[in-house]
Amino acid sequence: MSARIVMIEDDFALATMVAEYLAPAGFDVEHHGLGERGLRAIETGSPDAVILDVTLPDVDGLEICRRVRARSDVPVLMLTARGEETDRIVGLELGADDYLPKPFNPRELLARLRAILRRGERVAARRDGTRRFGRLEIDRDRRQVRIGGSLRSLTTHQFELLWALADHPGRVLSRERLLDLVHANALEAYDRSIDVHVSRIRAAIEDDPRHPRRVITVRGAGYVFASEQD
């Protein structure tokens, strides 16, 4: 993952440590020690995420968070040395995506950054009617499925089944639940035609349909869509 981060933090030693730790993971950290300067960098630079300290010398970090969220949906991870639960609650209510108290393990910071970036990608995909999972792209508006840019053919019913699965990644969906989601009738569940449709979906999107890695059978339960692959 490669991402540009704006970090607003008045502890320069901490900011340097974070930048050095995140760099090998593909993160380019732009540091600002004052809230107003950091806010301008966010407004003009369109970063992928913001690391924001609550306590700043010029403007309260909670106020910065409020201003950012009023203008942008960029993911915000807040840092604080304060122990009061109120700060965490207020930050989240103002629109922060996550909250990490100081001192913290840089590995946890990296994990949380990756998590909020993934959530941001899913939100963006929902907004434009598209789901993207690696090389797989499912465009509901155009009702198209592509693998690495190459168009794959699915029937309307098969597309709806794939969309239902991709819209609930990581969740096991029974045949009955899938049929509810695509507004199919009970007869299709009875005659197991859904299994035939799933096999054809696999033929369209899997590298090896006999050993699927996207649409996985959970024996006795249904199917699950794997959003991440090894």
Q: Where are the domains of the chain?
A: 3-127, 130-225
Residue 172 sits at φ, ψ, to 5 deg, of -80, 125
DSSP element (H, E) containing 33: none
Right CATH number for 130-225 from 3.30.750.24, 3.40.50.300, 3.40.50.10480, 1.10.10.10?
A: 1.10.10.10
Would the pLDDT of 10 be above 90?
yes
Task: Give the CATH fold of the 3-127 domain.
Answer: Rossmann fold (3.40.50)
pLDDT tens digits, residue range 75-102? 899 998 765 667 667 777 788 888 888 8
Q: How far apart are CA 71 and CA 115, in angstroms?
A: 22
Would the pLDDT of 123 be above 80?
no
pLDDT of residue 83: 57
Q: How far apart are CA 117 and CA 192, in angstroms?
A: 38
pLDDT tens digits, residue range 149-191? 899 988 888 898 999 999 888 889 988 888 878 865 444 444 4
pLDDT of residue 85: 65
Angle at 129 between CA 223 and CA 123, to 5 degrees: 80
